[in-house]
Amino acid sequence: MLKNKMKFKNLKIFFISIIFLNFSFLVNAKSVPESFADLAERLMPSVVNISTTQTVVTNTNPFPFEFPPGSPFEDMFKEFGTPQKRKASALGSGFIIDAKGIVITNNHVIKGAEDIIVRVDDDEEYKAKVIGADPLSDIAVLKIDSTEKFAAVKFGNSDEAKIGDWVIAIGNPFGLGGTVTSGIVSARNRDLGMNRYEDFIQTDASINVGNSGGPLFDMNGDVIGINTAILGREGSIGIGFAIPSNSAKKVVEQLIEFGETKRGWLGVRIQFVTKEIADVEKLDKPRGALVASVADNSPSDKAGIKAGDIILEFNEVLIKEMKELPKIVAQTAVGKNVEVKIWRNGKEISKKIKLGRLETSEDFIEKKPKETTDTEIESLKINVRSIEQKDIEARGLAKNTKGLVITKILNDSPINYLETGNIIIEAQKKTIRTVGDLDIAVKAALKSSERTLLLVIYNNKNQRRYIGVKLN
């Protein structure tokens, strides 16, 4: 009898525990919205439809027939056509962030526009002018030509948006006007290769042609993203991308204040730190941004940054991977003195750098190489030749440049991803002057426990690159 009572007591405790666990889960879980109606009604007056017009010149076909696309005759006979002007139009979306009529949209929505019309709440139409635009971030700021007061929304904190959070998008897809779609944050920190400062929020809220420039709202009604791109060309497939509000805010503030952006500039070309490079540099793991080359007289050059340094920290922000650095530098004030921690020769050291301005900086010289006779490097399955004075002059390299020009690369070469014309200037941190120098470096790498060869090259754009090669 006592045994049965104990069993009943334990069973009772078990069911009570389950009840409490389920209750705890229900309390902590975020409920699915029953409706977005109230939120949408509040936000829609702040979302605008944008239409633009511009003049384009085309040549009429003087012949009574059409040439198929790609035909060699297509371009040949274009010059015989009569130039004609016509008006082209485009549609997009935007949102008001100031009652005075300040509108945010994408740069590609208004690029080249001669006339911009903004329709507010699918009702009144107003002319608008561009205050400032930034192609690198694809953001533009407009001002509605009116003294009226408009309903405005504010930027939220995109860093707080978590994967799985509910969001709604409002915009002008296919010219249909105030259209509301809902979904969740599908992913963070997406990079599509569209520009150098990408950090997109991915969402499955339906975004189509015409949604560009429109807002992505959180459940508080704050803008956490600017809808910018979709995957594919056939319309929404549940994969859309938005510029995070925290990235957009800094650009918007500068465009409003200056009419242009003022981004920080280090003056370095960087690349990913691979496992092979980390092993050779005796770094604990692949992290940071490897300095491939330094621009002459740049902030980094003046501060003593050298090619081969690995930037681990910038202005007290850890650089986990290479792509983080350009965004952080760009968002730092021009002229600011920052501390940069680098990895050099197995040690961490600090440098003080005064940032320049990207928009006024000079780019690296880019010229093509010339090829002559070569010598086979059997261990790497490539052919090379010594660099000559004519190479240096043709490519605008430093007069004292030493190295070997790659003239042939076999398909099964361990560096078959390089290109002929690339110049090997260092191997295992030693300057390469002759074929013998490279052979010695390869043999040393083969004898090492890592069996990794660290090469430094100039690619065909004169960009310095570090290559970690795993040898068999």
Looking up residue 291, the CATH number of its domain turns out to be: 2.30.42.10
For position 379, what pLDDT does the model report?
Answer: 84
- The verdict on whether 122 is a catalytic residue reads no
In a domain, 298, yes or no: yes
pLDDT of residue 365: 35
Q: Which tens digit of pLDDT belongs to each residue from 245-299?
A: 999 999 999 999 999 999 999 999 899 999 988 988 889 999 999 998 888 889 9
Q: Are residue 195 and residue 181 in the same domain, yes or no? A: yes
Domain boundary among 205, 224, 258: 258
Which of the following is catalytic: 93, 186, 212, 247?
212
Does residue 354 sit in the same domain as residue 272? Answer: yes
Q: Is 451 part of a structural domain of the chain?
A: yes
Cα three-residue angle 402-306-422, rounded to 5 degrees: 40
pTM of the predicted protein model: 0.68
* Average pLDDT, rounded, for the chain: 84
The 10s digit of each residue's pLDDT in 201-229 is: 999 988 888 889 999 999 999 999 999 98
Are 180 and 268 members of one domain? no
The answer on 273 and 254 residing in a single domain is no
For residues 289 and 379, state if they share a domain.
Answer: no
Write a three-state SS string for the chain: CHHHHHHHHHHHHHHHHHHHHHHHHHHHCCCCCCCCHHHHHHHHHHEEEEEEEEEEEEECCCCCCCCCCCCHHHHHCHHHCCEEEEEEEEEEEEEEEECCCEEEECHHHHCCCCEEEEEECCCEEEEEEEEEEECCCCEEEEEECCCCCCCCCCECCHHHCCCCCEEEEEECHHHCCCEEEEEEEEEEEECCCCCCCCCEEEECCCCCCCCCCCEEECCCCCEEEEEEEECCCCCCCCCEEEEEHHHHHHHHHHHHHHCCCCCEECCEEEECCCHHHHHHCCCCCCCCEEEEEECCCCHHHHHCCCCCCEEEEECCEECCCCCHHHHHHHCCCCCCEEEEEEEECCEEEEEEEECEEHHHCCCCCCCCCCCCCCEEECCCCEEEEECCHHHHHHHCCCCCCCCEEEEEECCCCCCCCCCCCCEEEEECCEECCCHHHHHHHHHHHHHCCCCEEEEEEECCCCCEEEEEEECC
Question: Which among 312, 332, 360 is the end of a domain?
Answer: 360
Identify whether residues 98 and 175 lie together within a single domain: no
Domain match, 163 and 80 both: no
Out of 138, 204, 279, 437, the active site residue is 138
- What is the domain-level CATH number for residue 208? 2.40.10.10
Are 92 and 132 within one domain? yes
What distance, in Å, lies between the first and last C-alpha atoms of the chain? 75
Asked if residue 218 belongs to a domain, the reply is yes
Active site annotation includes 138: yes
Tens digit of each residue's pLDDT (9 = 90 or more) over 417-445: 999 999 999 999 999 988 888 988 888 88
Spot the catalytic one: 46, 51, 93, 108: 108
Residue 374 confidence (pLDDT): 79
140 and 49 share one domain: yes
Query: Could you tell me if residue 17 is inside a domain?
Result: no
Of residues 429, 428, 380, the one with CA closest to residue 406:
380
Q: Is the pLDDT of residue 73 over 80?
A: no
Residue 151 in any domain: the answer is no
Share of the chain above pLDDT 70, in %: 83
User: Is 294 within a domain?
Assistant: yes
Q: Is 379 a catalytic residue?
A: no
Q: CB-based contacts of 153: which residues, under 8 Å, 6+ apart?
A: 43, 46, 95, 96, 97, 215, 217, 221, 222, 223
pLDDT in tens, 174-192: 777 788 999 999 999 887 7
- Residue 14, in any domain of the structure: no
Domain that residue 405 falls in: 375-470
The count of domains in the chain is: 4
- For residues 398 and 30, the model is more confident at 398
Among 258, 287, 307, give the residue marking a domain's end: 258
Does residue 347 surpass a pLDDT of 50? yes
Q: Is residue 7 part of a domain?
A: no
